[in-house]
């Protein structure tokens, strides 16, 4: 991004309190430690901290400008531009929406209850067969991360894939206004964030707001195997195409085979034509992701064979079902986040892996499930037992329900260090172990300990 500050002031409906309106702005930041030349600081008011306390720090780090929602007399005369706005987060979104309007290129918006980041990465990989793709870094899919992603667009890009997440009512409409996707995809409708949205139907209603800014030629691709999403074909006022394993899907995966750490399948398009696809990951959820990626690429004019060839080079993001070797033990690192749906997918992968010893799962608390917390954790424990998992290590107060539901062979720990020590001591050569939990549980440290144990 290379724009003048006065353009941002105008786009955000703000007022320049001090500084040079002609200053060049190249990025938005919310962490004062990332400040540097061209950066505009966005002080966010949170539950515990107020970003306005760090405007001075951003100045000392070299930021060119900062939003503020109130005058800051302590910075009067300092060499930093201050822009007064009613709400800093909203101002950033308005500026990003204005910046988005400078580009005429395909932008794919991807949302869903689980699997958004993996789906985004696969879609970007498939589109790279023809386009220079800008994509969401990591999982920066929030009301702050999405506008920052959009402002990363540059003249070198010919397409973009943007991950769009929500946790509260009304969020999708706000970020869709920024992204204005030309087509979109929804991976599934689960129970993530149900604490705030109350029902899956409300989650569906919120997620489908991604289509609010689709152009007339825009299409929304949805998981046809999901319980709720296929109904959009009958009710939506925009074109909907389904992808999945079911025979009624517009884009269907058939003849699925796993070998080693890869999956091969036949992609059947709406025209009945078959395209072989191979991706270096396992699990039917990843088959759906790859199928979605090919469908999106086809919609944007990329030959299916080219998209499939690009997908062969896909590599999973850190902490998302990476299959690693650690001293004779196969480690499935799915530590990034967790919900009941993604727990079941991960347990499917664990159950399907070749195993010369025992199958072990360390499952930590799943957060933000609200009234479904006890039931959701119990269901995961029962599912692990059903899938034939030999030993379950449960971590956290809510995971106690997982352990109780699993029954004999489960160990419960309130302390992460104790759980890690037990797991390290319980594993033998030939075992396969899955590590998974919500982001707030810090299960990536368990993975680190298991890998260090093997050295």
439, pLDDT greater than 90 = no
> Of 311, 342, 366, which residue constitutes the final position of a domain?
311
Average pLDDT over every residue of 128-148: 95
Does residue 112 sit in the same domain as residue 181? yes
Residues of the chain above pLDDT 70, percent: 100
Whole-angstrom distance, CA of residue 290 vs CA of residue 275: 12
| Claim to verify: residue 291 and residue 339 sit in the same structural domain | no
Residues 145 and 228 placed together within one structural domain of the fold: yes
* Predicted confidence band of residue 132 (pLDDT cuts 50, 70, 90): very high
Specify the CATH number for the domain of residue 441. Answer: 3.90.190.20
Task: Convert the pLDDT of each residue in 230-273 to its tens digit.
Answer: 999 999 999 999 999 999 999 999 999 988 889 999 999 999 99
* Cα angle value 170/175/179 (rounded, 5°): 150
User: Beta partners for 430?
Assistant: none
Strand pairing class (81-84; 15-18): antiparallel
Tokens 């119990």 correspond to what residue? 378
Token pair in block for residue 303: 């030959």
pLDDT of residue 276: 98
Q: What is the dihedral of CA 323, 280, 283, 236, to 10 degrees?
A: 130
Closest CA to 27 of 176, 144, 165: 144
Summarize the confidence of residues 139-160 as an average pLDDT: 95
Question: Which pLDDT does position 319 carry in this prediction?
Answer: 84
* Dmax (CA) of the chain: 70
Q: Is residue 196 part of a domain?
A: yes
Cα separations (Å) of 366 from 42, 228, 284?
31, 22, 22
Residues 27 and 136 in one domain: no
- Per-residue pLDDT, 178: 97
Arithmetic mean of pLDDT, 425-438: 94
Q: What CATH number is given to the structural domain containing 63?
A: 3.40.1390.10
* Domain assignment present for 348: yes
Domain extent for 79: 3-88
If pLDDT is split at 50, 70 and 90, which confidence band does 114 have? confident
Alpha carbons 219 and 320: distance in angstroms, whole number = 28
Checking if the pLDDT of 413 tops 90, the result is yes
Find the mean pLDDT for residues 362-373. 92
The mean per-residue pLDDT over the stretch 51-77 comes to: 94
C-alpha of 179 from chain center: 16
Going by their DSSP bridges, the two strands 24-25 and 3-4 should be labelled as antiparallel
pLDDT in tens, 1-59: 899 999 999 999 999 999 999 999 999 999 999 999 999 999 999 888 999 999 999 99
Last residue of a domain, which of 60, 88, 116?
88
In contact, 369 and 191? CB cutoff 8 Å: yes
Asked whether 436 and 335 are in contact (CB, 8 A), the reply is: yes
Residues 329, 446 share a domain = yes
Phi, psi of 348, deg, nearest 5: -60, -45
User: Are 332 and 191 within one domain?
Assistant: no
Asked whether residue 94 is domain-assigned, the answer is no
Does residue 98 form part of some domain? no
Residue 454 has pLDDT above 70, yes or no: no
Tally the domains of the chain: 3
- Give the pLDDT of residue 2: 93
The whole-model pTM stands at 0.87
Average pLDDT over residues 98-108: 97
The overall average pLDDT reported for the chain is: 94
Place of tokens 């037990």: 422
Q: Does residue 95 sit within a domain? A: no
pLDDT at 455: 61
Q: What is the pLDDT of residue 17?
A: 96
Closest CA to 38 of 88, 92, 2, 67: 2
- The answer to whether 249 and 281 have CB atoms below 8 angstroms apart is no
| Shared-domain flag, residues 436 and 382 | yes
Q: Which residues contact 272 (CB under 8 A, 6 or more apart)?
A: none
* Same domain, yes or no: 209 and 233: yes
Asked if residue 96 is part of any domain, the answer here is no
Structure tokens at 28: 């938005």
Average pLDDT over residues 83-100: 98
Q: What is the pLDDT of residues 298-341, one digit of tens each?
A: 999 999 999 999 999 999 888 888 888 888 999 999 998 888 98
Burial class (CB in 10 A: 0-12, 13-18, 19+), 441: buried
For residue 383, what pLDDT is reported?
97
Kindly report the backbone phi and psi dihedral angles of residue 342, in degrees, each rounded to the nearest multiple of 5, phi listed first: -70, -30
- Give the residue from 88, 120, 150 where a domain finishes: 88
Q: 345 to each of 31, 285, 286, 349, how far by Cα in Å?
A: 34, 7, 10, 6
> Do 52 and 70 meet the contact criterion of CB atoms below 8 Å apart?
yes
Q: What's the angle, vertex CA 361, arms to CA 356 and CA 366, rounded to 5? A: 160
The count of C-alpha atoms lying within 13 angstroms of the C-alpha of 434, restricted to the half-sphere facing its C-beta, is: 31
Q: Are residues 169 and 262 in the same domain?
A: yes
- Same domain membership, residue 138 and residue 250: yes
Considering the domain architecture, whether residues 358 and 402 belong to the same structural domain is answered as yes
Q: Which two tokens stand for residue 9?
A: 């002031």
CB–CB of 253/282 below 8 Å?
A: no
The pLDDT of residue 89: 97
Q: What is the pLDDT of residue 55?
A: 96
Q: Does residue 97 form part of some domain? A: no
| CATH number of 264's domain | 3.40.1190.10
Q: Are 150 and 212 members of one domain? A: yes
Asked if pLDDT for residue 170 goes beyond 90, the answer is yes
């Amino acid at each position: 991004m290379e724009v003048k500050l006065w353009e941002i002031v105008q786009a955000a409906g703000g007022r320049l309190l001090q500084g040079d309106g002609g200053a060049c702005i190249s990025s938005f930041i919310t962490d004062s430690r990332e400040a540097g030349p061209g950066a505009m600081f966005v002080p966010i008011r949170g539950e515990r901290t107020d970003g306005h306390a760090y405007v001075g720090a951003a100045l000392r780090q070299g930021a060119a400008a900062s939003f503020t929602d109130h005058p800051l007399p302590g910075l009067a005369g300092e060499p930093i531009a201050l822009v007064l706005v009613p709400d800093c987060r909203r101002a950033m979104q308005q500026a990003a929406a204005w910046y988005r309007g400078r580009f005429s290129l395909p932008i794919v918006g991807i949302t869903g209850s689980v699997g958004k980041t993996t789906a985004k990465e696969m879609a970007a990989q498939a589109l790279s067969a023809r386009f220079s793709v800008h994509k969401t870094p990591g999982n920066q899919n929030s009301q702050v991360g999405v506008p920052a992603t959009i402002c990363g667009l540059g003249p070198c890009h010919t397409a973009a894939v943007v991950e769009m997440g929500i946790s509260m009512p009304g969020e999708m409409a706000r970020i869709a206004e920024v992204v204005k996707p030309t087509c979109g995809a929804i991976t599934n409708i689960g129970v993530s964030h149900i604490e705030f949205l109350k029902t899956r139907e409300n989650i569906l209603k919120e997620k489908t707001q991604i289509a609010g800014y689709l152009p007339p030629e825009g299409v929304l691709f949805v998981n046809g195997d999901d319980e709720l999403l296929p109904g959009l074909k009958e009710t939506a006022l925009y074109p909907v195409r389904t992808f999945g394993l079911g025979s009624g899907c517009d884009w269907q995966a058939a003849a699925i085979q796993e070998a080693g750490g890869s999956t091969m399948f036949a992609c059947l398009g709406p025209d009945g034509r078959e395209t072989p696809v191979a991706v270096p990951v396992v699990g039917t959820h990843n088959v759906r992701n790859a199928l979605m990626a090919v469908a999106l690429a086809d919609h944007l004019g990329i030959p299916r064979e080219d998209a499939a060839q690009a997908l062969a080079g896909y590599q999973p993001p850190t902490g998302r079902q990476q299959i690693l070797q650690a001293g004779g033990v196969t480690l499935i690192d799915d530590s990034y986040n967790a919900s009941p749906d993604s727990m079941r997918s991960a347990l499917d992968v664990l159950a399907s892996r070749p195993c010369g010893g025992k199958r072990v799962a360390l499952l930590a608390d799943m957060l933000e499930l609200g009234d479904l917390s006890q039931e959701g954790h119990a269901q995961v424990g029962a599912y692990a037992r059903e899938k034939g998992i030999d030993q379950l290590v449960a971590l956290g107060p809510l995971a106690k329900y997982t352990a109780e539901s699993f029954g004999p062979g489960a160990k419960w720990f309130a302390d992460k260090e104790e759980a890690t020590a037990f797991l390290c001591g319980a594993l033998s050569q030939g075992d396969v172990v899955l590590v998974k939990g919500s982001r707030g549980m810090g299960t990536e440290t368990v993975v680190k300990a298991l890998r260090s144990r093997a050295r």
